[in-house]
Structure 1
């Protein structure tokens, strides 16, 4: 009996536990349902709020797009108006400054052009002189050969005509040497003088046959000495004692002429410092050569004296060299003038560069002034365009309207 009772009690306890579990489960479900209901309500509210915010965002985006488009259009109009106004002002100022600078530039460049043309002409002249000089030297060598042959022929014929007459011989010798001077390229009265009277440093009156000026305020004396009497007899004799004696007499005559020149003092004549030797020219080349053949030591003896003996050919070469010295002197002077002219041209270029720099500075100043005037006229909240428009809106009587671009650039009162 005891055992069935326990079983019944256990059964009842199990039923009670199951009932309690069901009751607890129902209460938990109700709480979960309530919680879910609240969450659903919150989610619905969030969805409504999100939709509202999304709508407002779309509206704001639309407004912002319109505002950006308006700002871009306004900025484009302002830029276009400013560029047009700037271009107009700069063109007007640039045209005025360009005309002024063009006039000033022409004034500055005119001396430069003239000096450049002078410089070009001088360079062309120097080049032309060098070219002519090369041709002249060749031509003069041919003339020298012809002259030497002609002098020899004339000497042979004249020896017979003036034989024994020293005065005629001297005149003829001076004539021959003068012809050599004329063919030398030197200018009479400027680079050489003929038989002019001077007083030397001692006050004595001297009259050289020829005095040749050298560059550097120097000069050299050329004297003609003719000794043909013994020379003609020498060539007219056959070999023998008489021919030898005639040659010795010819050499002695040459020595006498040398001694005469040694006694003359040509120092300081003609306003120039003369060289310490005199050129004695024997106008008959064979006569000079015969004197050397008769006394080979003659040339060495004269080396220590102040007399230099030469024939027509040597004199021509000497005068050609002197003429060449004068040409070089002229070229050097031209080079100095060219250098001076180059310096002046450089100075003119500097002036032009300075004028261009000044023009650039003025253009920059004009642009800065224009920008400043533009800002004062149309920029800022209290710009002049706004103020005068405010005056007009208050009822001021006006006859003209403000340009639209100026109004656009100045902004509106609401900005």
Structure 2
């Protein structure tokens, strides 16, 4: 009996169904039959037992083969189920990969457009940064120029003040030094005609005396001529004194006229830079009316009052001897002091304190030799006036002071222009900063708008169930709209997967 080797795993056909197994069974059966025919009848019992054993072995083999086939069938079913599950998972993953690939392709198609927008945005940003840099450079240049101009103006102002002080001192020294010489020249101009006439008179007297010896007949004629000459000299001297003296009202009007003429010649404007006879009331209730009130930059003021002292000065000029001149000079100094006291008592500083600081009050004496005489006779006069915030000025020094005032106004106008330029530059920078902020916000809003547009466009024409596709399906199903969507939208609409 041939030994059975058992099942061969992982085969498609069971062992007991194979042709070899059937052949084996048939061959074994023939062999058994032949053996039975040859065994004697006495051995029937043993043969029956042997046959039963053979049949039991065959039955056991069949059972074993069936069990093996069942085990193999169960293994194949489990493998098939596992393969199906793997196939389903692979299919699901493949669908996900296809969707991801479609999304990726869509984004890849948008890359050139996004790159173009990004490049345009970068160019705009670079242009804006370049413009901002240029404006910053321009602003720094303007601020630097304004600062340099302020420094120049301050330096020029200091130099002008120094030059004014030096020039005023120089003029004062020159005038004081030349006063005596000029006074002598003026006195000589007044006395020389009289001296010449006296000399002529003396000559005539001598001639008359000589002629008297020659004849007394011509004496009456000579005396008549002498009387006429004396009358003429007295009349000329009286006319000169009247012209210099006048009355106080005429002297004051003449001084104010000279003062306002100087103001107009320096370029100052009436009722803008200076005010004439402006009446004001002090805290004590007194009515004050200075001749001129000059406005200065930085809310400051300058009062000018004209004073004419001629009476004592004319006596000094016409004094016959040194004693009379000394007495007349003292009277002239006292007259100037009286003017100083009167001007100081008006307290113009308190009157104009609400309008700004009042630096000095100028006492203007239009007759320059008269002021120089007073200063030469009393050296403390100028210092005392200065301590009372009063400056004694003549036409030369007043003209210089008014020129400086006009220059101060021009400098103030230039400084105001510089301040306006700096203020406008600062406002321009602030406006530009706000513009840059708004520009950045606009860029951000544009980016958000682009993203919103792409999102809305995706919902409209892309993806499964997009609005355009749904609307077209409704039209295909029989809906009859009055209007049809443009082809540029329907052509690029993604169709729904079947």
User: TM tier, shorter chain?
Assistant: 0.5 to 0.7
1:108 aligned partner: none
After superposition, where does 1:229-248 map in structure 2 within 5 Å?
A: 229-236=311-318, 240-248=322-330
- Residue 254 of structure 1 pairs with residue 336 of structure 2: yes
1:362 aligned partner: 445
What TM-score do the two structures reach when normalised by structure 1? 0.52
Question: Does the 8 Å CA contact 1:386/1:412 hold for their aligned counterparts?
Answer: no
2:436 aligned partner: 353
One of 360, 367, 375 as aligned partner of 1:292: 375
Q: Distance in 2 between matches of 1:401 and 1:196?
A: 86
Q: Distance in 2 between matches of 1:386 and 1:173?
A: 100
- Residue 320 of structure 1 pairs with residue 415 of structure 2: no
The structure having more radius of gyration, on CA atoms, is 2
What TM-score do the two structures reach when normalised by structure 2? 0.45
1:69-108, CA deviations, whole angstroms, 9 ceiling, x for partnerless residues?
A: xxxxxx9xx88x9679979xx9xxx9xxxxxxxxxxxxxx
Number of paired residues? 286
Q: Which has the higher contact order (CA 8 A, sep 6+)?
A: 1
Q: Distance in 2 between matches of 1:401 and 1:296?
A: 107
1:360-401, CA deviations, whole angstroms, 9 ceiling, x for partnerless residues?
A: 223212322343345446665x36499669969x98799999
Question: Does the 8 Å CA contact 1:192/1:211 hold for their aligned counterparts?
Answer: yes
2:364 aligned partner: 281
State the SS of the aligned residue for 2:295.
strand
After superposition, where does 1:258-277 map in structure 2 within 5 Å?
A: 258-269=340-351, 271-273=354-356, 275=358, 277=360
RMSD: 5.2
2:74 aligned partner: none
Question: Does the 8 Å CA contact 1:285/1:312 hold for their aligned counterparts?
Answer: yes
- Deviation at 1:223? 1.0
After superposition, where does 1:54-93 map in structure 2 within 5 Å?
A: none
Q: Distance in 2 between matches of 1:235 and 1:180?
A: 27
State the SS of the aligned residue for 2:338.
helix
After superposition, where does 1:7-406 map in structure 2 within 5 Å?
A: 161-236=243-318, 240-269=322-351, 271-273=354-356, 275=358, 277-376=360-459, 382=464, 384=466, 406=491
- Deviation at 1:171? 1.4
Question: Does the 8 Å CA contact 1:377/1:383 hold for their aligned counterparts?
Answer: no
Question: Does the 8 Å CA contact 1:386/1:413 hold for their aligned counterparts?
Answer: no
Question: Does the 8 Å CA contact 1:211/1:221 hold for their aligned counterparts?
Answer: yes
- Deviation at 1:405? 10
- Deviation at 1:225? 0.7
Q: Distance in 1 between matches of 2:358 and 2:408?
A: 16
State the SS of the aligned residue for 1:211.
strand
Question: Does the 8 Å CA contact 2:312/2:328 hold for their aligned counterparts?
Answer: yes
Question: Does the 8 Å CA contact 2:296/2:405 hold for their aligned counterparts?
Answer: yes
- Deviation at 1:207? 1.9
Q: Distance in 1 between matches of 2:383 and 2:485?
A: 113
- Deviation at 1:238? 7.6
State the SS of the aligned residue for 1:272.
coil
Aligned pair in 2 of structure 1 residues 385, 403: CA closer, same or farther (>3 Å)?
farther
1:213-267, CA deviations, whole angstroms, 9 ceiling, x for partnerless residues?
A: 3344443321111112333444456874444443333223222222222333334
